């Protein structure tokens, strides 16, 4: 009887192992921009850009046992409440790594910050679909975390809270090519971005995100 149970458990275990399937990376190389993904709107949760000519991408987490979790790191979308009558700031943030094993990771995190009126709702945000914001209006800015902030980066409780960390910032352009919201409040967004922080230039940025409502903090 015990042997039968053991065989059954072993069988289930083997079946579970065989049924494990890693979530896809969904990286499809852009033929015109080496190291970058194509501009897509399929909810692939992929973002790529050049930083001083080096291609960066959001990381991929390997799934845990039985294929649970894992996949491309999903960004956070947070609203930082401004003090008093100051406008709030919308922050779209994700970690990055060099998309080339030959390059070291000089930058760990990108945040796109955008001043928004108080009381912004998800519907207001979805209405930004098709809007292009340029850096001359100073509506948005780009933040990157330097390698020496590694300690701070991993000691913040959540990614969105890391925005409190003082980092180099500069003007940025952003274009929300497409934003759509599901009835359950999940957001899909695709767009372009670039910017510069002093001598550091961020170019050819493109993102294709699918954010479950739990990742949207407003």
Shortest Cβ 195–other proteins spacing (Å): 10
Residues linked to residue 115 through DSSP beta bridges, in sequence order: 89
DSSP 90-159: EEEEEE-EESSTTS---EEEEEEEEEE-TT--HHHHHTTTT-EE-GGGT--EEEEEEGGGHHHHHHSSST
Sign, CA torsion 215/69/180/175: positive
Shortest Cβ 143–other proteins spacing (Å): 18
CA-to-CA distance for 71 and 64, rounded, in angstroms?
10
State which residue, 200 or 203, has the beta carbon closest to other proteins.
203
CA-to-CA distance for 69 and 22, rounded, in angstroms?
9
Binding site for other proteins (CB under 8 A): 24, 26, 28, 31-32, 38-42, 132, 134, 136, 173-175, 177-178, 190, 192-194, 204, 206
Shortest Cβ 173–other proteins spacing (Å): 4
State which residue, 78 or 195, has the beta carbon closest to other proteins.
195
State which residue, 149 or 188, has the beta carbon closest to other proteins.
188
State which residue, 13 or 28, has the beta carbon closest to other proteins.
28
Q: How many CB atoms lie within 10 A of CB 59?
A: 14
Shortest Cβ 179–other proteins spacing (Å): 13
């Amino acid at each position: 009887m015990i042997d039968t149970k053991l065989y059954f458990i072993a069988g289930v275990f083997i079946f579970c192992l065989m049924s494990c399937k890693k979530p896809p990376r969904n990286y499809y190389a852009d033929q015109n921009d080496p190291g970058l993904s194509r501009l897509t709107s399929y909810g692939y949760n992929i973002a790529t850009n050049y930083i001083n000519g080096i291609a960066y991408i959001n990381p991929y987490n390997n799934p845990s046992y039985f294929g649970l979790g894992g996949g491309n790191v999903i960004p956070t979308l947070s609203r930082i409440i401004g003090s008093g009558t100051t406008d709030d700031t919308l922050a779209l943030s994700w970690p990055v790594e060099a998309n080339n094993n030959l390059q070291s990771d000089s930058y760990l995190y990108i945040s796109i910050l955008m001043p928004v009126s108080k009381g912004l709702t998800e519907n207001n945000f979805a209405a930004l679909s098709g809007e292009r914001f340029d850096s001359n209006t100073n509506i948005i800015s780009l933040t990157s975390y330097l390698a020496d902030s590694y300690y701070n980066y991993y000691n913040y409780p959540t990614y969105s809270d890391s925005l409190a960390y003082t980092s180099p910032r500069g003007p940025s352009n952003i274009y929300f090519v497409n934003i759509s919201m599901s009835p359950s409040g999940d957001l899909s967004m695709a767009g372009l971005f670039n910017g510069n922080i002093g001598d550091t230039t961020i170019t050819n940025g493109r993102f294709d995100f699918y954010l479950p409502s739990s990742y949207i903090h407003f």
